[in-house]
Structure 1
Amino acid sequence: MKITADSVAEMMKSAPPNRQKFYWDDDLAGFGFYRLPSGVGTWIVEFRPVSGGSKKRLKLGRVGTLKASEAREAARKTIAHAGLGKDLAKDRADERASGTVRDLVEEYIAGKEMKPSTRDFYNVTLKKHIVPHLGSQKAVAVSRVDVQRAHMKMSRTARYSANRAMALLSAAYVWGAKRGLVPEGMNPAASIDRNKEEARERYLTPDEMTRLGDALREAETVGIPHKASDSKHAPKEKNRTIYGPHVTGAIRLLMLTGCRLREILNLRWDEYDEKRGLLLLPDSKTGRKTVVLSEAAQAEIDGLPRVGKYVIAGRSAGLPDEQPRTDLKKPWAAIAGRAGLDDVHLHDLRHTFASVGAGGGMSLLTIGKLLGHADAATTQRYAHLHVDPTRAAANTIAGQIAAAIGGK
């Protein structure tokens, strides 16, 4: 039959066939449609991928959803591609068989060499941000528009985490392309507009440090007045929550060393060189790291009860399957709140350590070494606090010039 909009409409109005029935176009060989006993019609095209190869059939879409002219054009392109050696039927089958975005990212996380802490962070990012928006989509079918829309939705509740999710997704596509999991060069997460990020600058003032010190002593002696949301695992006496020396000691060590939270919570006793006053960390964020301890920091460590293999004992301390303490969120919230520091995060204690050094005239190079920065540029965030040595130099230079020119 001559397939036109009118002829197909007329055919679709007729009684449905008793079994699947095919109709082929007189002009374009291989183009047609079929009807089922249910009355549904589907556009199809038949072609041979290569000369002498077996014939293949590709569904183009439903009759009624796809116009006759549109179906004809799609069939013409399919046949033309086949003549050039491109098998659209195989491409579509490969797409159906390919893994999802979740599969791709999971394989990347499992197959890429990375630190355990990084792997844990990636798994959380995948579960909380990527899977809800893109996880079930085929990795090879995701477009840049899909990813940009997903990023916008993520950003409504977690602007910075949305950026981390895009970085993870982009890395997974680059990794997957090298291993044939997605087409070479395919990366729909590349060049996505990210949310603007501003470095947080919160340092404790001398008065705030004093208040925090008072709250720490109160926490480990008489206890912090507790609320219903406080840790149920800490003993309560006279409506107060007492926090043990490992909790308060961890907070003090964060301030006295400038270490990262996980560096303190994962610290083992065998990584503490008591004689030389060093922490020999085998695997920090920037790799192996040696922390030079002050007398105050070493005294804090020496004063902690030795329970288990970790300096900061967790709930499983001393048990065969001992694990480090996971976090300090609840104790810190109570202690910081008691000190009137509700806007202070634990990581701000590391910034405070650096800010005291910069404000005291210590070189940025030395501060970077104490903090374990792999890149000197990272320490530059404290440059604006490093004013006393610069002012002294300015006074020396300007003083000589003023004397020469007769300045006041």
Structure 2
Amino acid sequence: MPKLTKTLLDKAELRDRQYTIWCSELKGFGAFVMPSGVRTYFVDYRNTNDVRRRMKLGRHGTITAEQARTLAIKALASVAHGNDPLMERREARKAMSVKELCECYITELENDRVLGKRGRPKKASTRYTDIGRIRQHIIPLIGARPVNQLTKADVTAMMKDIMSGRTRRNVKTGKLRGRSIVKGGPGTANRTVGLLGGILTYAKDELGIITANPAHGIRKPKDAVRTRRLSEEEYRKLGSMLRTTGEDETYKSTVEMIRLLALTGCRRGEIIGLKWSEVDDAGSCLRLEDSKEGQSVRPVGLAVLEAIDERRILEGYSPYIFPGREIDTPCGSFPNHWNKIFRESDLSNVTPHVLRHSFASMANDLGFTEITIAALLGHASGSITSRYIHTLDAALVVAADTVAGYIHALMDGSKLVLHSYPLDRKSRKAALTRFLETAAEAGTVVDDLVDRPMQFGT
């Protein structure tokens, strides 16, 4: 057997049947010669179980004899360390791709088997957003990669592609005249990497196909901090605009929803889907059945209850305070109406979240603490907020009354002056004495004193 070289293979005769040429210098290294003229390098070995394997290395012409020899040497060295190169290759070829993993994850997601915050299945809106990011960003960019070969560099490259807008496009959806505008950008990149990290955690902990999560530790772009809030003058403009728009019966319900958003700091979906059963008039709160944080109690001011009372004529007609075209569905025209109301106005850059942020900022201006504001907004902060809601309910109602009352007055066009609660001991003692004297004159028994809100006057 001569040494296996390019010249030797080029001169190899063709026969009616396949035959083998072995290399005299490297045991196990050889080449097939087919009747068609195709010549293929291979390596022959026995694994640790004494099973004979023959692994192809590449076709003559595609790789050289020396390249094939190098591959054979590496394979034989791997065998010497107890490995089985051919089986490893087969397993790699069968390895699940990122696309296949994503499809498995989507199936779990749609069957409520993927848990979100605090151990609850992800909400329908979150599932919709996650599936969109998977199909519009993750699969197009890294879907073909085997999951077990995915690296931090791959995840970082995906993130940068999303940031640069490589996945930006305008696609038609299944809905009538529906379109999906995919923009990309830093915020989308940040959230998509976070989603990919969750998918890879699923691959690691539940499927067991990887041992480490390559999305962990990726340096992600910082989200833009949203600081937009309404000034007092802008609240007056908003009130005037709503009064004018509300004269049109088409926009009346939307105007009332916008007013509630401003007076409560609730999320858009919480007001759109608000049910009569969730309004606790006696407790001066909304007991939301399914907010972003699950069940949530939101103390609300008197101005909110009065606004809801104006719609009592519809109670019993629909479970929703703002019903849609079908009585058993919530209003679906809010987004389009919002755009038409605000588009040409001085407040064109205001969003529902701006109203929420402005409510929180106004509460801060009025002197309420972070934990009080968190309870008013329904922010999740563990058992602390939960205990606070139940044990200091009166304080929260006072806070809700104060913030909603102040904003309501501004939207009605009033000009108000804030008076800070005095912090020096002499002034505080005088204020407390007046409070107790007033309570005694009214025949009130004071068991507990709660922090009084900041006072404001016209």
Cα distance in structure 2, aligned partners of 1:211 and 1:80: 79
Equivalent residues in 2 for 1:248-327, closer than 5 Å: 248-304=255-311, 305-306=314-315, 307-318=317-328, 322=329, 324-325=330-331
| Unaligned 5+ runs, structure 1 | 224-241, 380-387, 397-408
Decide whether aligned partners of structure 1 residues 81 and 355 sit closer, same or farther in structure 2, where only a CA change above 3 A counts: same
Who is 1:345 aligned against? 351
- Structure 1 stretch displaced more, 329-338 or 62-71: 62-71
CA-to-aligned-CA distance 1:295-326 (integer Å, 9 cap, x gap): 111222232334532333234433xxx4x456
Instruction: Count residues in correspondence.
Output: 359
Cα distance in structure 2, aligned partners of 1:308 and 1:37: 80
CA-to-aligned-CA distance 1:151-203 (integer Å, 9 cap, x gap): 11111232111111111111211221123442212x23223231122321100
Who is 1:60 aligned against? 57
Contact 2:187 2:224 in 1 (8 A): no
State the Cα distance separating 1:57 from its structure 2 match.
Answer: 2.7
Equivalent in 20, 26, 29 of residue 28 of structure 1 = 26
CA-to-aligned-CA distance 1:179-230 (integer Å, 9 cap, x gap): 3442212x2322323112232110011222222223323333237xxxxxxx
Who is 1:77 aligned against? 74
Who is 1:231 aligned against? none
1:183 aligns with 2:227: no
Q: Could you say what secondary structure the match of 1:243 adopts?
A: helix
Decide whether aligned partners of structure 1 residues 180 and 363 sit closer, same or farther in structure 2, where only a CA change above 3 A counts: closer
Decide whether aligned partners of structure 1 residues 45 and 220 sit closer, same or farther in structure 2, where only a CA change above 3 A counts: farther
| Structure 1 residue identity aligned to 2:277 | D
Decide whether aligned partners of structure 1 residues 218 and 62 sit closer, same or farther in structure 2, where only a CA change above 3 A counts: farther
Equivalent residues in 2 for 1:53-132, closer than 5 Å: 53=51, 55-109=52-106, 110=108, 111-113=113-115, 114-116=121-123, 117-132=125-140
| Structure 2 residue identity aligned to 1:29 | K
Q: Could you say what secondary structure the match of 1:107 adopts?
A: helix
| Structure 2 residue identity aligned to 1:71 | A
Who is 1:227 aligned against? none
Q: Could you say what secondary structure the match of 2:295 adopts?
A: strand
Q: TM-score, normalized by length of structure 2?
A: 0.70
| Unaligned 5+ runs, structure 2 | 116-120, 166-184, 386-417, 427-458
Name the Cα RMSD after superposition: 3.1
| Structure 2 residue identity aligned to 1:77 | K
State the Cα distance separating 1:36 from its structure 2 match.
Answer: 4.6
Decide whether aligned partners of structure 1 residues 60 and 243 sit closer, same or farther in structure 2, where only a CA change above 3 A counts: farther
Equivalent in 187, 198, 210 of residue 224 of structure 2 = 198
Contact 1:254 1:264 in 2 (8 A): yes
| Structure 1 residue identity aligned to 2:366 | G
1:220 aligns with 2:218: no
Who is 1:232 aligned against? none
State the Cα distance separating 1:254 from its structure 2 match.
Answer: 1.6
Cα distance in structure 2, aligned partners of 1:38 and 1:391: 96
| Structure 2 residue identity aligned to 1:101 | V
Decide whether aligned partners of structure 1 residues 129 and 300 sit closer, same or farther in structure 2, where only a CA change above 3 A counts: farther
